[in-house]
Amino acid sequence: MSDISRLGIVGCGLMGSGIAEVAALRGLDVTVAESTPELAAAGRERVTASLDRGLRRGKFGAAERDQALTRLSFTHDLGDLADRQIVIEAVAENREMKLDVFRQLDKVVTDPEAILATNTSSIPVVDLAVATGRPAQVVGLHFFNPVPVQKLVEVIPALTTAADTVNRARAFAAGQLGKEVIQAPDRSGFVVNALLVPYLLAAIRMVESGAARPEDIDSGMKLGCAHPMGPLRLLDLIGLDTAQAVADSMYDEFKEPLYAAPPLLQRMVAAGHLGRKSGRGFYAYEA
């Protein structure tokens, strides 16, 4: 099984930029596609800033940082991903947006054996696979935020995914990117979010009912259960809009009340209180 050398990424937000950074540091040629020149430029700045932080913190040297930057290119034309051996979709957690990306990738990626992967948190992989003419090459590769720090990747085969695609995806994530891999079922939420999301929503309901303050809930889970971060701080880090999108997807599939987004979460998202990225969520943050 030959190594992958050419990676494409669609989307350069928190997840896409993190995947790009890790891959470039590990020696891959990385092309990142965004929807506009402005977003492509912002993506370049995001990756460069993260590499500079890593350099200041002593995670790698200046030569490694500079070499990683030479392996990165940014574009607003999906056609520039035509020669990629694997493309990872990392756009917003929106079903129609992701479906559109996969339909376009199916047309532009020339290698019929190229892997088309999704970084979705909750959308069934098979829905994206059957939007293409190559469902056997579509697989889930779910990274965790922040990608340069978090070691886990969930590999999610759809019913249509070929065994060779699964093996190549596992080898890519583990052998080339240095991640720890678990295989997850193609059910909304997979393994981690199926366990995590009900816990996070339960914390919101405690705040909503007045049972406890955010500070007390977070301190309780950190000090009482040895969690590195309380659930409400974690929600602010994830982004409340992302958390609602994941919860909605899981509720749509299972119709279980524990997956339903609480009214407080819906109201906070409507108000633009999305957590760290907006400066305000369950806590306030400096710009």
Q: Considering 17, 50, 119, 121, which one is annotated as catalytic?
A: 121
167 has catalytic annotation:
no
Residue 145 is among the residues annotated as catalytic for this protein: no
What 3 state SS string does the chain have?
A: CCCCCEEEEECCCHHHHHHHHHHHHCCCEEEEECCCHHHHHHHHHHHHHHHHHHHHCCCCCHHHHHHHHHCEEEECCHHHHCCCCEEEECCCCCHHHHHHHHHHHHHHCCCCCCEEEECCCCCCHHHHHCCCCCHHHEEEEEECCCCCCCCEEEEEECCCCCHHHHHHHHHHHHHHCCCEEEECCCCCCCCHHHHHHHHHHHHHHHHHHCCCCHHHHHHHHHHHHCCCCCHHHHHHHHCHHHHHHHHHHHHHHHCCHHHCCCHHHHHHHHCCCCEHHHCECCCECCC
Cα–Cα distance measured from residue 22 to residue 149, given in angstroms and rounded to the nearest whole number: 9
Contact, 246 vs 197, CB < 8 A?
A: yes
Identified catalytic residue from 122, 142, 188, 273: 142
- The catalytic residue among 89, 154, 188, 273 is 154
Residue of 119, 188, 193, 249 with catalytic role:
193
Instruction: Identify whether 154 is a catalytic site residue.
Output: yes
Active site residues: 121, 142, 154, 193
